[in-house]
Amino acid sequence: MTKTAWVFPGQGSQLIGMGVDLQDIPVAKAKFELAEKILGWSVLDICQGDETTLACTLYTQPCLYVVESILSDLLKGKVDLPQLVAGHSLGEYVALYAAEVFDFESGLRLVKKRAELMHSADGGKMAALMKFDRDQLTTVLNNTPDVVLANDNSEAQVVISGTPEGVENVLSQVKAKKAIALNVSGAFHSPLMQGAAKEFLTVLESVEFKEAKIPVLSNVDPRPTTDSQVLKSKLTQQMTNSVRWRETMLQLAQAGVTEIIEIGPGKVLCGLIKRTCKDIALEAIGTVEQLDGKAPALVS
């Protein structure tokens, strides 16, 4: 028996042109128009602009939320609902929307505020490490103040976050095949985001969370739940805590998931899952053409 999970990628997966092929579909057109009223700018214009602007946190996060939410809505009209949902960082907001924890507008207002706060954060640094000694990294992090494991993406790929001095100190001590400084303004998913998280909390508390129609795996505690208050509590911790994606993938496998659909641009999460859970069938849905492959065409 097939057991399906839907997963939603976060910042870093954005692509120029994403969502543009959706604009003539009525349900998508309505959401693009609503998003422009809420944001004060056009998602479609940004997605058709230059890479630098799209890669700016202020624009990336709302664009991904809008495009992925539309894709999720359209896919729901074609296939059975999944048994589990999860999202990577920003993608968790789309997972919560897909599970009907909040409506599209509420989610976008949360993402808009989150993007503004993270965009304005400064004084931090993030770096990705590939093919490294995990035990050595853990030891160095434990002995280095102001640096944490921000994204535990897979056994062979992580992101560290903290003060510039602290991050450089860790990089100088840990052997890795590749280490790349990320082009971000702040130390996302670290305690250095505490000020932004506190301000964000006032907005988050004003949004009503409903019981999830589909169990959601949170970034900070990847155990599936439908409890609205538990999901909200976990989301309050997300900005300052690690994205435990490696554990999320393992949890999906342990739950007996046999098929995972990545909903959004590219195949970033599919790549991570393929190397971690080799027996799970993978599919990426990020375009009208890929959606049309699930059933009769959406547009004439």
pLDDT tens, residue by residue, 244-254: 999 999 999 99
Which residue of the set 72, 89, 190, 218 is catalytic?
Answer: 89
Angstrom distance (rounded) from CA 274 to CA 131: 16
Identify whether 189 is a catalytic site residue.
yes
Dist. CA 50–CA 127, nearest whole Å = 24
pLDDT at residue 201 in the model: 94
Between CA 57 and CA 158 the distance in angstroms is: 20
**pTM for the whole structure:** 0.95
Indicate if 228 belongs to the active site.
Answer: no
| Per-residue model confidence as pLDDT tens digits over 130-184 | 999 999 999 999 999 999 999 999 999 999 999 999 999 999 999 999 999 998 8
CA dist 19 and 36 (Å) reads 14
For the residues 199-208, what does the mean pLDDT come to? 94
pLDDT at position 183, please? 84
Q: Are 79 and 283 in contact (CB under 8 A)?
A: no
Give residue 123's pLDDT: 86
Encode pLDDT of 4-39 as tens digits.
999 999 999 999 999 999 999 999 999 999 999 999
Per-residue pLDDT, 96: 98
Question: What residues does CATH 3.40.366.10 cover in the chain?
Answer: 4-121+190-292
The residues near 227 (Cβ < 8 Å, ≥ 6 apart) are 211, 212
Pick among 1.10.3720.10, 3.40.366.10, 3.30.750.210, 3.40.50.300: CATH of 4-121+190-292: 3.40.366.10
Model confidence at 279, in pLDDT bands (50, 70, 90)?
Answer: very high
**pLDDT score of 299:** 45
Mean pLDDT (whole number) for 274-293? 94
Strands (DSSP E) found in the chain: 4-8, 84-87, 125-132, 147-154, 157-162, 176-181, 216-217, 259-263, 281-285
Helix (H) or strand (E) holding 253: helix 245-254
As a whole-number percent, the residues of the chain with pLDDT over 90 amount to 94
Q: What is the pLDDT of residue 293?
A: 85
* Residue pointed to by tokens 């997966």: 13
Using 50, 70 and 90 to split pLDDT, how confident is the model at 295? low
Q: What was the pLDDT predicted at 48?
A: 97
- Residue 300 confidence class, pLDDT cut points 50, 70, 90: very low
Residue 210 has pLDDT above 50, yes or no: yes
Q: Residue 184: what pLDDT?
A: 85
- pLDDT above 90 for 185: no
Per-residue model confidence (pLDDT) at position 296: 58
CA 207 to CA 16: how far, in whole Å? 31
Of 69, 161, 189, 190, catalytic = 189
**CATH code 3.30.70.250 region(s) in the chain:** 125-181
C-alpha to C-alpha distance for 84 and 79, rounded to whole angstroms: 14
According to the model, what pLDDT value does residue 213 have?
Answer: 98
User: What CATH code would you report for 125-181?
Assistant: 3.30.70.250
- The mean per-residue pLDDT over the stretch 272-288 comes to 95
CA distance 219 to 151: 9
